[in-house]
Structure 1
Amino acid sequence: MHVSLPLLCGSLLPFLTGSLALPKARAEKHYAIMDNDWYTAGFVPFLIALDGNVDVLGLASDTANTWQPQVALHAVATLEAGNLSCIPVYPGATWPLINTPHRFQAWESIHGKLPWEGAFAPENKTLDAQGNDPTSGNPNRIVKSAFKEGFPKGKPNNSTSAANFMVQMVHKHPGQVSIYSAGALTNVALAVRMDPQFASLAKNLVIMGGYVDLNMLEATGSIMLADLQSDINLMIDPEASKIALTADFPEIIVAGNVANQVMPDQKFLDEVHEVRNPYTDLFHRYYDLLFPFWDETAAALMVDPSIVVNQTSVYLDVDTSYGSPNYGNIHVYQKALAPPGIGKVKYVFEVDADKLKQRVKHSLQHPKSCADLKK
């Protein structure tokens, strides 16, 4: 059909005018899918995101500190605790791409034990009975006594998998969805393999994990100090870690060593608890003072990059050689020395500790609920 130029221009003018305004409006909206090994006191990252005006599209569960089915129910339970059940929880992969408890423990017999083995620690029915999250054994068993936040009334959304949900959302909101991962990277890797456009359509990938240059500290410090350097998030599924961290995300932010920088103390917990609500109650009672703000640091970096004090850009790869003592650990390169097929990441060395703690505090003392999100 032939259309005259004036008619064509006139008919398209409103559309073109709108299309010019649309990218600007979209750029102002920040979405996130938050993938983690959720637990009783693990809700602070999604509160930080909501407090930073990030629209959390959903939570995903993975196997890292414990098995995925237990993790998914912790996510549901901690959302229910603060009237946030309007945020769906999508179950992720229960099994890593290749790794199993037996395979992991066989690797340890050659290369040495990790102080923290996560879900792949030997099954311990005594610890299960004492209210610890399950390890090894049957991955589908649920230890109800571990739900100190209360066993959930609802269930995860089984309409699709976590990986498929990620793919759907980056296509729906191209360039606007942060993929946050503070557990294993299995779901992210599956999404990368499912859809060749997935990574490039995301806003960025923000991870907690990826320690470098800490071997001497592990050898000469205490067992607890070595525990803090256990890169279980990457090591529980090294192959997935490699796939995710070498995918073509527009930006990858790594909270590795920096995740150990800021420690809580009783004074801070008491300060947070000056405002009473279900989340400050749980935080005050169950947040473990032995461990730093691991997942919280990564969440704050996703929300507010201005908290970064020191970072660098490096090329990053993951060791996937089962015969290597560094299996599941990252290796970084400068561009001239990097092997082909790996990309550049932002590796954060230091954050503003006061800003981070204020974000944690404000998100807990002023948590958003579903009523707030509907406004």
Structure 2
Amino acid sequence: MRLALLGSLCASTVASAAAQRRYAILDNDWSSTAFAVFLMALDGGIDVLALTDCTGDTWQHQETLHALATLELGNLSCIPVVPGATWPLLQTPERLQAWESIYGPLVWQGAFAAPNYTAEAQGADPTGGDPNRIVPAAFVEGLPATKPMNTTNAANFMVEMVRKYPGQVSIYAAGPLTNVALAVRMDPDFAENAKELVIMGGYVDVELLQATGSLLMANINSDINLIMDPEAASIALTAPFPNITIAGNVANQVISTQAFLDQVIQVNNSYSNLMYKYYGTEFPFWDETAMALLVDPSINTNSTNVFVAVDTAYGSPSYGNIHVYQKALAPPNTRSVQYVFEVDGGKLQDMIMHAVQYPPQVC
């Protein structure tokens, strides 16, 4: 009897521990220096089920190889890489360029910029042209030896994992929301059964910054993640996720500095070395801010709940941007989201630094 009772208690403890585990799928337009995102998740005790990708800053096929290669740096290849959408739902380079011809050009167009073979020869990721084209010179981390998962795609994988771990899977999206939207459309229960959606993107009230600042300031405040696939963003941000957190303007709060990089390299490993050499000091910690909010919500020091809608009117100058509303004035078929205004910048930098300097060993 005592053995039976002990066995029952052990089984109950195991089941309880499994129910408390935190899982995440990390969807991003991966690059040579995007690795801090998955290192932060692992450092925060989150089980990363996979890295997924879709066309954003560069083409999806190039991103897949970046994801594989940066995982290999830390012997983390037990984490699968699941390829996602090569194309947005509607947006194309030609369609974006036609819109720009009326409403003005974007400083950064991601994969939809015209090909620049000179820049590619010097190490830039591919833009324009053939979406399947791979540019080896861009792999400062080295080309990968491992292969992506070839038995499914990102949207299917998201649906399968949420069914397997209902209420426990966080969906992190720091690129266009194409894969998330496809998963929402594939399974009507997907969003409701996920734990949450955390995105990087969704700027508000930035027109004066774009108009009066430098081109770099205009670039930093343009919503390319949503503009690359406005229709997908609208689907994702109206889906019934239990919670949606938006790291929009706040993602611009903390910018990489040389002093920060000098600290990072004090612990020299493959990741800190790569970050020191290639992360740069022009841009904010965009993706890392969104990940920090997922790992430790207490980093959020100022936020509010608002209703949001993505402008999906192709004939609008704000196509691909969000509008925010109070409940009484919100359009039909919108929902409340958590919009973060401010994070603890020192804590954010500490989280990034610790994850990069001491990469978790989980494989």
TM bucket, shorter chain:
over 0.9
Following superposition, the deviation at residue 264 of structure 1 comes to 1.5
Secondary structure in 1 matching 2:51: strand
Aligned partners of 1:211, 1:123: CA distance in 2, in Å? Answer: 27
Alignment counterpart, residue 232 of structure 1, candidates 216, 224, 235: 224
Following superposition, the deviation at residue 130 of structure 1 comes to 1.7
Alignment counterpart, residue 337 of structure 1, candidates 329, 349, 353: 329
Q: Deviations over 1:35-74 (max 9, x none)?
A: 0000011100100000000000000011110000000110
In the alignment, does 2:307 pair up with 1:315? yes
Aligned partners of 2:14, 2:74: CA distance in 1, in Å? Answer: 34
In the alignment, does 2:144 pair up with 1:152? yes
Equivalence for 1:306: 298
Equivalence for 2:174: 182
Secondary structure in 2 matching 1:328: coil
Equivalence for 1:286: 278
In the alignment, does 2:52 pair up with 1:68? no
Q: What TM-score comes out, normalization by structure 1 length? A: 0.93
Following superposition, the deviation at residue 27 of structure 1 comes to 4.4
In the alignment, does 2:100 pair up with 1:113? no
Write the letter of the residue equivalent to 1:259. Answer: A
Equivalence for 2:124: 132
In the alignment, does 2:345 pair up with 1:353? yes
Q: Deviations over 1:277-335 (max 9, x none)?
A: 11111111110210000000000000000001100000111000000000000011100
Q: Deviations over 1:127-154 (max 9, x none)?
A: 2222211111100000010000001111
Aligned partners of 2:335, 2:7: CA distance in 1, in Å? Answer: 37
Secondary structure in 2 matching 1:64: coil
Alignment counterpart, residue 260 of structure 1, candidates 252, 263, 273: 252
In the alignment, does 2:114 pair up with 1:122? yes
Following superposition, the deviation at residue 28 of structure 1 comes to 2.0
Aligned partners of 1:159, 1:229: CA distance in 2, in Å? Answer: 38
Aligned partners of 1:344, 1:141: CA distance in 2, in Å? Answer: 40
Following superposition, the deviation at residue 24 of structure 1 comes to 4.6
Following superposition, the deviation at residue 87 of structure 1 comes to 0.4
In the alignment, does 2:40 pair up with 1:40? no
In the alignment, does 2:204 pair up with 1:212? yes
Write the letter of the residue equivalent to 1:232. Answer: I
Aligned partners of 1:311 and 1:349 also within 8 Å:
yes
Larger radius of gyration: 1
Write the letter of the residue equivalent to 1:275. Answer: V
Aligned partners of 1:186 and 1:240 also within 8 Å:
yes
Instruction: Report how many aligned residue pairs link the two structures.
Output: 359
User: Residues 193 and 216 of structure 1: is their aligned pair in 2 closer, same or farther, counting only changes over 3 Å?
Assistant: same
Aligned partners of 1:207 and 1:255 also within 8 Å:
yes
Q: Deviations over 1:85-109 (max 9, x none)?
A: 0000000000000110000011000
Aligned partners of 2:205, 2:14: CA distance in 1, in Å? Answer: 45
Following superposition, the deviation at residue 25 of structure 1 comes to 3.2
Write the letter of the residue equivalent to 1:110. Answer: I
Secondary structure in 1 matching 2:262: helix
Secondary structure in 2 matching 1:331: strand
Equivalence for 2:263: 271
5+ residue gaps, structure 1: 1-12
Equivalence for 1:6: none
Write the letter of the residue equivalent to 1:159. Answer: T
Aligned partners of 1:26 and 1:176 also within 8 Å:
no
Aligned partners of 1:100, 1:15: CA distance in 2, in Å? Answer: 58
Aligned partners of 2:10, 2:141: CA distance in 1, in Å? Answer: 47
Aligned partners of 2:11, 2:261: CA distance in 1, in Å? Answer: 48
User: Residues 152 and 213 of structure 1: is their aligned pair in 2 closer, same or farther, counting only changes over 3 Å?
Assistant: same
Equivalence for 1:250: 242
Secondary structure in 2 matching 1:158: coil
Q: What TM-score comes out, normalization by structure 2 length? A: 0.96
Following superposition, the deviation at residue 267 of structure 1 comes to 1.1
Secondary structure in 1 matching 2:42: helix
Aligned partners of 1:294, 1:137: CA distance in 2, in Å? Answer: 27
Write the letter of the residue equivalent to 2:154. Answer: A
Aligned partners of 2:244, 2:16: CA distance in 1, in Å? Answer: 23
In the alignment, does 2:86 pair up with 1:87? no
In the alignment, does 2:186 pair up with 1:203? no
Write the letter of the residue equivalent to 1:77. Answer: A
Write the letter of the residue equivalent to 1:285. Answer: K
